């Protein structure tokens, strides 16, 4: 019944990829200049930087605070409140395991256990080689593909624990 290609990795190519590359300062300056003095844009600005850089270094947060004229304490509060923001560097590859209800009902826990076993890290952690970061996510909106994991935005659908090692092998 299942199509034969469903195990293949796929997904829209425009999804962000992660990597260790540090963000170029020009781009940060550009984002900050666009929102100079606009305290209300705090979340938007952090979001843009997070999307580009994959994490928020402290010196960048200080700059955000100065440019947007928001106290650093508030910048830190927002940056730590939301799960999407990371105050530590991410690995070259970001693994997202969906633990939403539909995926859970179809065995997401065993998938997560296997990913933890293979990478040696828990959700929220990055390994010491900066190869993988692991996060759990809630419902990606494609419950028909569950259980599923995403690596760098690529979906591996209806994955069984036995297939995970193979799926992760490709990533350097």
Partner 1 sequence: MARINSVAELEELRKGILSKIEPDKPCIAICAGIACLGLGNDRVISAFEEEIRKQSLETKVDIRATGCHGFCEKGPIVVIYPEEICYLEVTPEDVPEIITQTVVGKKVIDRLIYTDPNTGAKAVHQFEIPFYKNQSRLLIGNNPKINPKSIEDYLAIGGYSALAKALFAMNPEQVLEEIKKANLRGRGGGGFPAGSKWETTRNAPGEEKYVIVNAHEGEPGAFMDRALFTGNPHLVLEGLIIGAYTIGSHQGFIYTRHDTPQLRENIDIALSEAKEYGLLGKNILGSGFNFNVEVHLDVGIFVSGESSALMRSIEGKAPEPRPKYIRTSVSGIWNKPSNLNNVETWANVPQIINNGSKWYSSIGTERSKGTKLISLSGNICNTGVVEVPMGTSLKEIIYNFGGGIPNGKKLKAVHFGGPMGGSIPESLIDSPLDFDVLSKLGTSLGAGDMLVLDEDNCMVEVARYFLDFLSGESCGKCVPCREGIRQMLKILTDITDGKGKEGDIELLEEIAGVVGEAALCSLGRSVPKPLLSMLKYFRDEYEAHIKDKRCPALFCKELKKGEL
Whole-angstrom Cα distance, residue 148 to residue 93? 16
Whole-angstrom Cα distance, residue 117 to residue 14? 30
Whole-angstrom Cα distance, residue 69 to residue 42? 10
* Interaction mask 119-158, ligand FES, x per CB under 6 A: --------------------xxxxx--x------------
| CB nearer to ligand FES: pick between 19 and 107 | 107
Q: What ranges in 82-107 are assigned the alpha helix state H?
A: 101-105
Binding residues among 76-95 for partner 1 as defined by CB under 8 A? 77-78, 81-85
Whole-angstrom Cα distance, residue 150 to residue 47? 20
| CB nearer to ligand FES: pick between 45 and 97 | 97
Binding residues among 66-125 for ligand FES as defined by CB under 6 A? 98, 100-103
Binding residues among 30-69 for partner 1 as defined by CB under 8 A? 39-44, 46-47
Whole-angstrom Cα distance, residue 127 to residue 108? 21
| CB nearer to partner 1: pick between 53 and 157 | 157
Residue that the structure tokens 């395991």 belong to: 97
- Interacting residue ranges for ligand FES, rule: CB under 6 A: 98, 100-103, 139-143, 146
């Amino acid at each position: 019944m299942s199509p034969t290609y469903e195990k293949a990795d796929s997904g829209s190519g425009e999804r962000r990829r992660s990597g260790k590359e540090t963000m170029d300062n020009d781009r940060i300056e550009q984002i900050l200049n666009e929102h100079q003095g606009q305290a209300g844009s705090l979340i938007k600005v952090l979001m843009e930087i997070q999307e580009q850089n994959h994490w928020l270094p402290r010196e960048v947060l200080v700059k955000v605070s100065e440019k947007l004229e928001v106290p650093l304490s508030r910048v830190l509060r927002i940056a730590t409140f939301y799960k999407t923001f990371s105050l530590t560097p991410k690995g070259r590859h970001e693994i997202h395991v969906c633990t939403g209800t539909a995926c859970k009902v179809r065995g997401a826990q065993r998938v997560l256990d296997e990913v933890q076993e293979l990478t040696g890290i828990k959700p929220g952690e990055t390994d010491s080689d900066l190869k993988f970061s692991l996060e759990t996510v809630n419902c990606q909106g494609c419950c028909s593909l569950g259980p599923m994991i995403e690596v760098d935005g690529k979906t591996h659908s209806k994955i069984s624990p036995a297939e995970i090692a193979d799926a992760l092998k490709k990533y350097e």
